Amino acid sequence: MEGRGRRRTKAVRCAACGAPNAASARFCDQCGRILASVARAPGDRRIVTALFADIVDYSRLVTELDAEEVVGRIDEAFGLLAAAVERYDGAVEKFIGDAVFAVFGARRAHDDDPLRAALCGLEMTSSLEQVAHDRGEPPLRLRVGIATGEVVASVREVGDRTDLVVTGDTVTTAMRLQELAEPGEILLDEASVRAARQRLEVEVVGEHAIRGRAEPVRVHRLRGERQHRLVGAAGPGLLIGRVADRARLRDALESTHRTGRGRVVVVIGDAGIGKSRLVADMEEEARGLGFAWTWTENLSYTTGEYYAFARTFAQRLADEHGTDSGSFARRLLFTSDIDETTTRRLAGAVAAIARDAEFSGWEAEAALVPADPADIRRSLGELTARYVRRLAETGGPRAVVIDDVHWADRSSRPLLDQLIKIVTDVPFTVFVTTRPGSIPAWAPLAHVELLELSGLDSRGTGRLAASVTGTSLGDETSDWLHERTGGNPLFVVETVRALLEDDALVMRDGRLELGDPSGVDRVPVNLRALLGARIDALQPAARAALQVASVIGMSFSPALVSELLGGAPADDALAVLAESSIVDPAEAGGEWRFRHPLIHDVAYAGMLSSRRRELHGRLADSLESGPLPPQIGQLAHHRAASGDRERAVPLLAQAADAALAVGAVTEAAGYWRTAAVLLGDDPRAGEFRARIRELEIAVSPRATRGR
């Protein structure tokens, strides 16, 4: 074979006999069977952020330099770009000529992929500048385009290589934005900016028509990272509800105020439930009691950095005193009352933290860092204790916020634990926020209490929504919104924004109500990303059960889930979902339920359409062959969703009649609408449309409201 000059680069293994074959082969050399050289494993639909970065000066280099030198420079640049992608846990999908294509959230979703992509873009630019600066050469400039939206992510196996392929509009948009960018510019689409606006400085460039997109895209230029997150100011208007929760936090402050002893409150709740907002609201209260206020946050993408939390903490205190963290630590720690050995030990501990960080002014002490990791750890414990005690001695009572402790980096954790233990002896109140499933080990300590935040009630939901729209909502609409979002403030705000954008709210008797029912079920992109990340974090068995359950509907029986999973028991998987607050177990023989429709819709939307159709079909079969006569509406819905038009249409008509018989006009119109959509160009569709029109004339517009 070699003799015939065929290069055996990538082997394709024959699925039947396992023999390796040339990548270009269509039949197996060994057994003669056809080779499935490009096999696709099923994928999913997900929200990702795509980034294209193109090296502008590539063609200039080619004309100016020797080809070998160009290759060297470009390889080096690609190395730096890839390192930036890796740092933010994205994946380089491809190098294309002089450009790199990276995706954030394709292999694993984070709840801040757009932010990660934007920061990655900034780092790409600055690392190219840095290298050029070090060499005294002009930097290679980049054009960067970033877009966020839905793609189909599938696994493509070519030979023994497995590639993840992402396909969708979003990829094209990112590429077009990159083409549109000026040298040195990073352009973002609206969805990316929305999701990351709290941490980015951006300006609007304008609306641009983009090939392949029906609507023009609003383009933003990235100017940089916002230094301090707009905590507290991040939401519209006043804090809504949370009366009892605020009282708990105030109690802790007052107790410290009274006794001079520290208290710790751990605020627990899902993303967006309002942990940071609640804690931020205590600042005025704390200052009113004469407390200093220190806010420290942990970021999802610094979890892998050494001493990230310790550095933030030291930095915030230094900021408060108008100095840098190195000098502040020196001033605070080394007083005349400690002996030389202690001084050296503490200095070694600070230098250990400074070593891996931009913590200047401690280079001279680097030699004092102990060689034995156990010694470093011990002296860090001593350092933390002294730092905290001195802080209390010099600065008096203080409220310290440790936001998102679940993202604290590993090396800082012992320091953080130590801080929590010793605050009982100093007048510090510590507010810690965390997500469920990540309760710190020190939670049982006597001076630590837990505060679980739940969603706002229906009234609170309505008030929050009104703070976004500027007009009150009708009661029914507030109830619908509460039901849909579980009262999670972030979900409420984003859902209302989407409704406003889609003109789905109409004014009736001075209040806003849901208008056209189509579109009210749309899940805003950033919520899909956020909830998608929560689903991604589940173990595969739980994820599979969740998807199957979402096909069944908002409520489901474990038996049916198990049947659709091929008979495997689903109890363990469902228990995991309940623990993750995604579903609620059945009460007294009833059915299990999704916590709120948003999470249901996101789980459902994450499946490939082909998989959804298959599951709906199997579900309809199972309903038909079950011991009880199936509920006709349900059966019609599953037949329709399986794409089985011929079986679905008569069922839909039957379901509509049954609905009309009990006066459920909205439901009846819904069945006819589905039938009309399924039928498409078929003349029978006209008949259904006519019936919907008749019904609409017969009843008030209120009757066509969504669920």
CB 279 within 8 A of CB 244: no
Q: Which stretch binds Mg ion (CB under 5 A): 25-33, 166-174, 268-276, 354-362?
A: 268-276
Given 199, 242, 421, 595, the residue binding ligand ATP (CB under 6 A): 242
Question: Which residue has tokens 């507290």?
Answer: 232
**The 3-state secondary structure of 239-300, one letter per residue:** CCCCHHHHHHHHHHHHHHHHHCCCEEEEEECCCCCCHHHHHHCCHHHHHHCCCEEEEEECCH
**According to DSSP H, which parts of 50-95 are helical?**
58-64, 67-87
Q: For residues 98 and 77, what is the distance between their CA atoms, to the nearest angstrom?
A: 10
Of 396-415, binders to ligand ATP (CB under 6 A) are 404
How many residues line the site for ligand ATP (CB under 6 A)?
Answer: 21
CB of 348 to ligand ATP, least distance (A): 35
Question: Which tokens go with 604?
Answer: 């459902």
The four Cα atoms 325, 326, 332, 337 give a dihedral, to 10 degrees, of 170
Question: Which residue has tokens 């006043």?
Answer: 238
Given 105, 440, 489, 606, the residue binding ligand ATP (CB under 6 A): 489
Q: Which residues pair with 102 in a beta bridge?
A: 51, 92
Is 581 near Mg ion (CB under 5 A)? no
Q: For residues 538 and 108, what is the distance between their CA atoms, to the nearest angstrom?
A: 11
Is 487 near ligand ATP (CB under 6 A)? no
CB 102 within 8 A of CB 124: no
HSE, CB side, 13 Å, CA atoms: give it for residue 538.
24
CB of 301 to ligand ATP, least distance (A): 14
Is 490 near ligand ATP (CB under 6 A)? yes
Q: State which residue has the least CB distance to ligand ATP.
A: 235
The four Cα atoms 6, 10, 14, 15 give a dihedral, to 10 degrees, of -160
Helix, strand, coil in percent for the chain, rounding step 5 = 50, 20, 30
HSE, CB side, 13 Å, CA atoms: give it for residue 536.
20
Q: Which long-range contacts (CB under 8 A, 24 or more apart) does 643-646 make?
A: 643/613, 643/617, 643/678, 644/617, 644/620, 645/678, 645/679
Question: Which tokens go with 683?
Answer: 């003349």
Question: Which of these, 397, 423, 401, 402, lies nearest to 413 by C-alpha position?
Answer: 402
Query: What single-letter amino acid sits at 276?
Result: S
Is 31 near ligand ATP (CB under 6 A)? no
- Residue 461's binding partner among ligand ATP, Mg ion, none (Cβ under 5 to 8 angstroms by kind) is none
- Residue 269's binding partner among Mg ion, ligand ATP, none (Cβ under 5 to 8 angstroms by kind) is ligand ATP
Is 412 near Mg ion (CB under 5 A)? no
Is 273 near ligand ATP (CB under 6 A)? yes
CB of 268 to Mg ion, least distance (A): 12
The residue among 189 and 404 lying less far from ligand ATP, judged by its C-beta, is: 404
Question: Which of these, 381, 386, 388, 379, lies nearest to 337 by C-alpha position?
Answer: 386
CB of 583 to ligand ATP, least distance (A): 20
Question: Which of these, 548, 527, 540, 538, lies nearest to 594 by C-alpha position?
Answer: 548
- Residue 489's binding partner among ligand ATP, Mg ion, none (Cβ under 5 to 8 angstroms by kind) is ligand ATP
Given 357, 493, 531, 546, the residue binding ligand ATP (CB under 6 A): 493
The residue among 396 and 437 lying less far from ligand ATP, judged by its C-beta, is: 437
Q: Which stretch binds ligand ATP (CB under 6 A): 171-179, 305-313, 489-497, 513-521?
A: 489-497
Q: Which stretch binds ligand ATP (CB under 6 A): 6-14, 219-227, 330-338, 488-496?
A: 488-496
Given 276, 294, 478, 642, the residue binding Mg ion (CB under 5 A): 276
The residue among 85 and 432 lying less far from ligand ATP, judged by its C-beta, is: 432
The residue among 88 and 362 lying less far from ligand ATP, judged by its C-beta, is: 88
CB 513 within 8 A of CB 476: yes
Of 4-43, binders to Mg ion (CB under 5 A) are none
Q: For residues 563 and 548, what is the distance between their CA atoms, to the nearest angstrom?
A: 10
The residue among 110 and 600 lying less far from ligand ATP, judged by its C-beta, is: 110
- Residue 235's binding partner among Mg ion, ligand ATP, none (Cβ under 5 to 8 angstroms by kind) is ligand ATP
Q: For residues 638 and 617, what is the distance between their CA atoms, to the nearest angstrom?
A: 7
- Residue 338's binding partner among ligand ATP, Mg ion, none (Cβ under 5 to 8 angstroms by kind) is none
Is 149 near ligand ATP (CB under 6 A)? no
Is 269 near ligand ATP (CB under 6 A)? yes
Q: Which stretch binds Mg ion (CB under 5 A): 48-56, 59-67, 124-132, 274-282?
A: 274-282
Query: What single-letter amino acid sits at 300?
Result: S
Binding-residue pattern over the window 447 to 486 for ligand ATP, x denoting contact by CB under 6 A: -----------------x----------------------
Is 275 near ligand ATP (CB under 6 A)? yes
Is 435 near ligand ATP (CB under 6 A)? yes
CB of 90 to ligand ATP, least distance (A): 20
CB of 50 to Mg ion, least distance (A): 26
- Residue 272's binding partner among Mg ion, ligand ATP, none (Cβ under 5 to 8 angstroms by kind) is ligand ATP
For 12, list phi and psi in degrees, rounded to 5. Answer: -110, 125
**The 3-state secondary structure of 327-354, one letter per residue:** HHHHHHHCCCCCCHHHHHHHHHHHHHHH
- Residue 527's binding partner among ligand ATP, Mg ion, none (Cβ under 5 to 8 angstroms by kind) is none
How many residues line the site for Mg ion (CB under 5 A)?
Answer: 1
Is 262 near ligand ATP (CB under 6 A)? no
CB of 245 to ligand ATP, least distance (A): 9
- Residue 464's binding partner among Mg ion, ligand ATP, none (Cβ under 5 to 8 angstroms by kind) is ligand ATP
- Residue 577's binding partner among Mg ion, ligand ATP, none (Cβ under 5 to 8 angstroms by kind) is none
Query: What single-letter amino acid sits at 60?
Result: R
Q: For residues 100 and 297, what is the distance between their CA atoms, to the nearest angstrom?
A: 32
Question: Which tokens go with 621?
Answer: 């079969």
Question: Which tokens go with 477?
Answer: 């609409």
CB of 523 to ligand ATP, least distance (A): 17
Q: Where are the beta strands (DSSP E) in 331-422?
A: 398-403
The residue among 296 and 550 lying less far from Mg ion, judged by its C-beta, is: 296
Question: Which tokens go with 4?
Answer: 């015939």
Question: Where on the chain is the footprint of ligand ATP (CB under 6 A)?
Answer: 234-235, 239-242, 269, 271-277, 404, 433, 435, 464, 489-490, 493
Question: Where on the chain is the footprint of Mg ion (CB under 5 A)?
Answer: 276
